[in-house]
Structure 1
Amino acid sequence: MQQTDILIIGGSLVGLSAAVFLGWRGVSATVIEKHTGSSPHPRAMGYTEHTLEFFRATGLDEKVPQVAPGTRLRRTRAISLAGEWIGETPWTPGESPENDGTSAASPCTGAAVAQDVLEPLLRERARELGTDLRLGVEMLSFEQYGDSVTVHVRERATGAEYGMRARYLIAADGADSFVRERLGIARQGVGYLRTMRSVLFRCREADAYLDRGIHQFVIEQPGLQAFLTTYGDGRWVLMFHDDDERDELALKAAVAQALGKPMTFDILATGRWEMAGRIAERYAVGRIFLAGDAAHQLPPTRGGFGANTGIDDVYNLAWKLELVLRHGAGDALLDTYNDERQPIGWLRHQQTFARPDYARWVGGSVDDKLLYSAAAMELGQLSRSSAVIGAGMDLPPAAEPETWAGQPGVRAPHVWVKRDGKLISTIDMFTRNFVLMTPDPTWVTAAREVAQDIHIPLECIQVGMDAEFPADMPFEHAFGVTHEGCSLVRPDGVVAWRSEGREDKPARRLRAVMAKVAALPD
């Protein structure tokens, strides 16, 4: 029986991201993936600023090419690519394509990279960080015990079978998750809507039409209702609004019709997938956690609610597993994964099907939902759990990041600050440990005292001494406290708690806060 700390079932985007995040935190992980490489038909290709912040923390940001500042994903209705473009459509009504970005709120700009280009980078980084990647290996069964999870696996090439035991298991095994089904976890949502097909093709001539800044085209003409988009590397994909089987001749005719003028192209692959909305009723059972499509099945969106939400899932989970496995945090900390991520998955389901791209498929059942901007959804979502103090039920589930001003439960604000003579983002200071930020020496002393008493890593950054905020964005304004206050930020960059001013017994107060948000045993 082979041993590992974390066993990850599924080695696609989310499973590989989990391996990178865990490996970067020094946690032993093994990935079981039945395929030997990436799918020949890429799926995801848009990664948000928030996702790039995670990759930035783990040393991947320079390897993943980011889009130019101010670049926005734009879509238009069109007769064809080379024909008439009828009119541009925003993702969120009332939000112009030019103003729906979030670059001012992040040190990153996002990326537009095909999934089969990103996944090899994740594999390479995971291996560098010590992850055991077992490709071409499938899970046959699993059992959960009080202190471990065991699985029975088979090497597909040789037929060899063996067992593995892990402290915890992450199921990133897709929308048809075997693990979720075996656990008996039901799903809710709009459910199945339709089955769609797609064709991937290479056409360099078509790339010339990207100069106008639009990369997505809703094709509307007699005999062809489809969606055309590009992976930015000469490859394009045409998605049909039906489940009709087409032979190669019919596929070529449809591609030619969507292009609108004679162009040279090669068919590379075809795909078939469900348009559906399903959110698992719970994301965890004992020592098993659902992540990615296993937890939330969402159709492709301009907000990247599928892949990016899954990557966010495992970034949230990785630091909690590290603290439990390496620093003595209580198992109750792992309960906050479901408490925080399941409501966010549900919010993204509602936001997806309330937007015009998909609202027409659900008969207006979610039309009354308030629509949040791209910035609010990606950088202004609110997490509520016992690992956050001060995120009341009266607060909205998301808001513009600048309006939160350091609200507990929300990603800490991005501000360019001077530290050690260099200009860095505050985001880069909140990636490894708990961090207390304050201008007040009283809180600094308290943090140092508490850090000596607990096993959880706690850093203290004294504003004005260790980090200098710009005059037009002082710490107090950005983090919503006074000059005598403080802000406690979690290892995933989420504000865990803040004190707006000085307190009578700061060390006692901070010790109690850390005991709660890190689930420290008595």
Structure 2
Amino acid sequence: MNRQKTQVLIVGGALTGLSAAVFLAHKGIRVIVVERHPDLLSHPRLRGITPRTVEVLRQVGLGPSIRQESFSGEDGVFVPLRANTLADDYETVEEAGQAEFIDPRTYSSSTYAGIDQDRLERLLHDRARQLGAEIRHFTEAVSLDQDEDGVTVTVRDRASGNEEALRADYLIAADGSKSRIRNWLGIDTDGPGVLFNTISALAHADLSAAVRGRPIGIAYLQKPRPFSSMMPHDGSGTRWLFGTGYDPRHESLADFTTERVAEMVREASGLDEVEVSLKPQIPGTDLTVLGFPIGAQVARSYRSGRVFLAGDAARIQPPTGGFGGSTGIQDAHNLAWKLAAVLTGRAGPGLLDTYDAERRPYGRLAMQQAFARFGDRMADGAQVELLDYSAVTMGFRYASAAVPGNHETDPIPAVELCAQPGTRAPHRPTADGGSTLDLYGETFVLLTGREGQAWVKAAQDLGTTMGVEVQSYVLGTDLRVEDGENAHGIGPDGAVLVRPDGFVAWRSHSAPMHPTDTTDTADAADPTGATTTLAEILRSILARQS
């Protein structure tokens, strides 16, 4: 049996897997993606991505394409509503406990992007290939073995039946909520599990008479049965995603024929005579009706040896809140820079432990908040406190060895972000019309106060002695930012170290104490102690001994 070698193998070529391929290939890592479907699904599924997710995709050159493919512009608003049918009067869903709406442009260089998953996946697919990733469709993983040096996966071409062994340094399992990889590894999940099952269909029907010009993001309907929904697939009013729950104990997916589902769409719309046609959701097939579980669960570990779980393989949650797709993309973003650092020898393997330490707590938070919003919108009310939406999507906080000394994990409303360790570095407009966020994505970045020259020299020295690139900027001099020191919580001689993923790893309000104040002998090569301090921080983050 032939055996091809790569650095990272990704099982699952949908939203999370393709995102991981893009982020890794962008950093020069060799990637192979295997996907069991013959092509990308036409099913829109996800309706949009959060400002933070747009930020990370801008880092790999996808910002303009996302805006071009979005169904809403910079000021687009996603409107969830409740009604009996689409034609009836409706009430806008208001989530209890939410702060007054604040324009995301006050805390981000990006806004919410209303883009359907099928379109976003196509952009990711094309970008991954452009960056050199190999993507194999209609290919499934059939066995997995791992040892101290890597992972061997046997894959099967579903068209020919031919099998091949792929050898990789690491594997990312992005193979969905029923993850075969997770099951092979014996990783259990916590949470309520499957809440109900739903069928979905991509319907073409002119429902303008029901909509009557009203803005609709998603409509939660009582017809044809409770837990039904309708979402516009574009701005034409003629392409819709219909979904409704069903109980597999009493009816099967095969019971939902094209004719039956078309009639259900009519009932949901409130237009008994409207013409409805269903379109295939998987190119090259005639599958017009698909089944999906709606549930809430989180894997008990996101890592087993050299295998990492990401996206729905790691956790699932109800679609309410729109956290799912963005959570998967950010799983991939968090993991990619760490894998790249380890594979290129800039970090020790211990850095990879921080993926589970950072992303699993967030996966639990996102699941709980989505579940609470599900109860608030469609059931008997939220069972846990609904946190500010921007705190969940932008203000979450990491506590791990890659954020030395931080133990705080409570989410923070996005407008309150000011470079607290473990949070996404704050957005501040720069004099050239950009954002401080434009600095992040490639290397470590050190921002200092206007008297922070000792920190700048330390970063330059460590680039030579540790081989770690740290780009340095003095606020107010190299980087003209209004009130930059206060916005980052530092004094004139303080500093903030930002990781390649844009999260604050460490912050010092002022310069380090002079060595002669605390020791008998000063280091002539490091009279301020800045180099020693920064070296200790970088070694901790990168799990390095030297």
Query: Smaller-chain TM-score range?
Result: over 0.9
Q: Are 1:466 and 2:484 an aligned pair?
A: no
Q: Are 1:337 and 2:350 an aligned pair?
A: no
TM-superposed deviation, 1:396: 4.5
Question: Secondary structure in 2 aligned to 1:112?
Answer: coil
Deviations 1:128-174 (A, max 9, x none): 11101111211110100101101111111122211111110000011
Question: Secondary structure in 2 aligned to 1:386?
Answer: coil
Q: Distance in 2 between matches of 1:228 and 1:510?
A: 53
TM-superposed deviation, 1:113: 2.0
Equivalent residue, structure 1, for 2:415: 402
Cα contact 2:454–2:530 (8 A) shared by 1:
yes
Equivalent residue, structure 1, for 2:330: 312
Length-normalised TM-score, structure 2: 0.88
Q: Distance in 1 between matches of 2:540 and 2:409?
A: 23
Cα contact 2:106–2:415 (8 A) shared by 1:
no
Cα contact 2:205–2:275 (8 A) shared by 1:
yes
Equivalent residue, structure 2, for 1:39: 41
Equivalent residue, structure 2, for 1:451: 463
Q: Are 1:263 and 2:274 an aligned pair?
A: yes
Question: Secondary structure in 1 aligned to 2:220?
Answer: strand
Q: 1:210 to 1:458 in 2, by over 3 A?
A: farther
Deviations 1:107-131 (A, max 9, x none): 1112222222221211111011110
Alignment of 1:203-352 (within 5 A): 203-206=205-208, 209=211, 211-220=213-222, 226-232=228-234, 234-243=238-247, 244=251, 245-261=255-271, 262-268=273-279, 269-301=288-320, 303-352=321-370
Cα contact 2:15–2:325 (8 A) shared by 1:
yes
Q: 1:170 to 1:210 in 2, by over 3 A?
A: farther
Query: In the alignment, residue 377 of structure 1 is paired with which amino acid?
Result: V
Q: Distance in 2 between matches of 1:498 and 1:203?
A: 55
Equivalent residue, structure 2, for 1:23: 25
Q: Distance in 2 between matches of 1:334 and 1:358?
A: 37
TM-superposed deviation, 1:223: 5.6
Question: Secondary structure in 1 aligned to 2:434?
Answer: strand
TM-superposed deviation, 1:210: 7.6
Q: Are 1:485 and 2:494 an aligned pair?
A: yes
Quick check: 343-352 or 493-502, which moved more? Answer: 343-352
Query: In the alignment, residue 508 of structure 1 is paired with which amino acid?
Result: T
Cα contact 2:428–2:435 (8 A) shared by 1:
yes
Alignment of 1:22-421 (within 5 A): 22-65=24-67, 66=70, 67-85=72-90, 87-90=91-94, 92-95=95-98, 99=101, 102-206=104-208, 209=211, 211-220=213-222, 226-232=228-234, 234-243=238-247, 244=251, 245-261=255-271, 262-268=273-279, 269-301=288-320, 303-357=321-375, 367=383, 369-392=384-407, 395-418=408-431
Structure 2 residues without counterparts, runs of 5 or longer: 280-287, 515-528
Q: Distance in 2 between matches of 1:210 and 1:270?
A: 27
Q: Distance in 2 between matches of 1:210 and 1:466?
A: 53
Q: Distance in 2 between matches of 1:215 and 1:355?
A: 16
Q: Are 1:501 and 2:488 an aligned pair?
A: no
TM-superposed deviation, 1:359: 8.1
Aligned residues: 507
Q: 1:204 to 1:100 in 2, by over 3 A?
A: farther
Q: 1:415 to 1:340 in 2, by over 3 A?
A: same
Q: Distance in 1 between matches of 2:342 and 2:376?
A: 40
Question: Secondary structure in 1 aligned to 2:433?
Answer: strand
Cα contact 1:372–1:399 (8 A) shared by 2:
no
Q: Are 1:438 and 2:448 an aligned pair?
A: yes
Length-normalised TM-score, structure 1: 0.92
Cα contact 1:112–1:231 (8 A) shared by 2:
no
TM-superposed deviation, 1:40: 3.6
Query: In the alignment, residue 129 of structure 1 is paired with which amino acid?
Result: L
Answer 1 or 2: which has greater strand percent: 1
Cα contact 2:191–2:298 (8 A) shared by 1:
yes
Question: Secondary structure in 1 aligned to 2:540?
Answer: helix
Cα contact 1:434–1:489 (8 A) shared by 2:
yes
Cα contact 1:200–1:238 (8 A) shared by 2:
yes
Q: 1:203 to 1:158 in 2, by over 3 A?
A: same
Question: Secondary structure in 2 aligned to 1:493?
Answer: coil
Deviations 1:423-447 (A, max 9, x none): 2111110110001001221211222
TM-superposed deviation, 1:201: 0.1
Cα contact 2:98–2:389 (8 A) shared by 1:
no
Deviations 1:353-399 (A, max 9, x none): 222546876x88x72x332122111110001100002422xx35311
Q: Distance in 2 between matches of 1:442 and 1:457?
A: 17
Quick check: 192-201 or 243-252, which moved more? Answer: 243-252
TM-superposed deviation, 1:48: 1.1
Equivalent residue, structure 2, for 1:424: 434
Q: 1:465 to 1:82 in 2, by over 3 A?
A: same
TM-superposed deviation, 1:220: 2.7
Question: Secondary structure in 2 aligned to 1:193?
Answer: strand
Q: 1:208 to 1:414 in 2, by over 3 A?
A: farther
The percent identity for this pair of structures is: 36
Quick check: 29-38 or 487-496, which moved more? Answer: 29-38
Equivalent residue, structure 2, for 1:515: 539
Q: Distance in 1 between matches of 2:209 and 2:469?
A: 50
Q: Distance in 2 between matches of 1:238 and 1:320?
A: 39
Question: Secondary structure in 1 aligned to 2:505?
Answer: strand
Q: 1:247 to 1:101 in 2, by over 3 A?
A: farther
Question: Secondary structure in 2 aligned to 1:477?
Answer: helix
Query: In the alignment, residue 298 of structure 1 is paired with which amino acid?
Result: Q
Cα contact 2:98–2:386 (8 A) shared by 1:
no
Query: In the alignment, residue 428 of structure 2 is paired with which amino acid?
Result: V
Q: 1:225 to 1:463 in 2, by over 3 A?
A: closer
Question: Secondary structure in 2 aligned to 1:423?
Answer: coil
Quick check: 330-339 or 134-143, which moved more? Answer: 134-143
Q: Distance in 2 between matches of 1:297 and 1:484?
A: 45
Q: 1:222 to 1:333 in 2, by over 3 A?
A: closer
Q: Distance in 2 between matches of 1:83 and 1:358?
A: 21
Q: 1:511 to 1:265 in 2, by over 3 A?
A: same
Q: 1:80 to 1:506 in 2, by over 3 A?
A: same
Question: Secondary structure in 2 aligned to 1:514?
Answer: helix
Cα contact 2:84–2:222 (8 A) shared by 1:
yes
- RMSD, matched Cα: 2.1
Q: Distance in 1 between matches of 2:397 and 2:103?
A: 19
Equivalent residue, structure 1, for 2:282: none
Question: Secondary structure in 2 aligned to 1:276?
Answer: strand
Cα contact 2:319–2:370 (8 A) shared by 1:
no
Cα contact 1:70–1:103 (8 A) shared by 2:
no
TM-superposed deviation, 1:207: 9.1
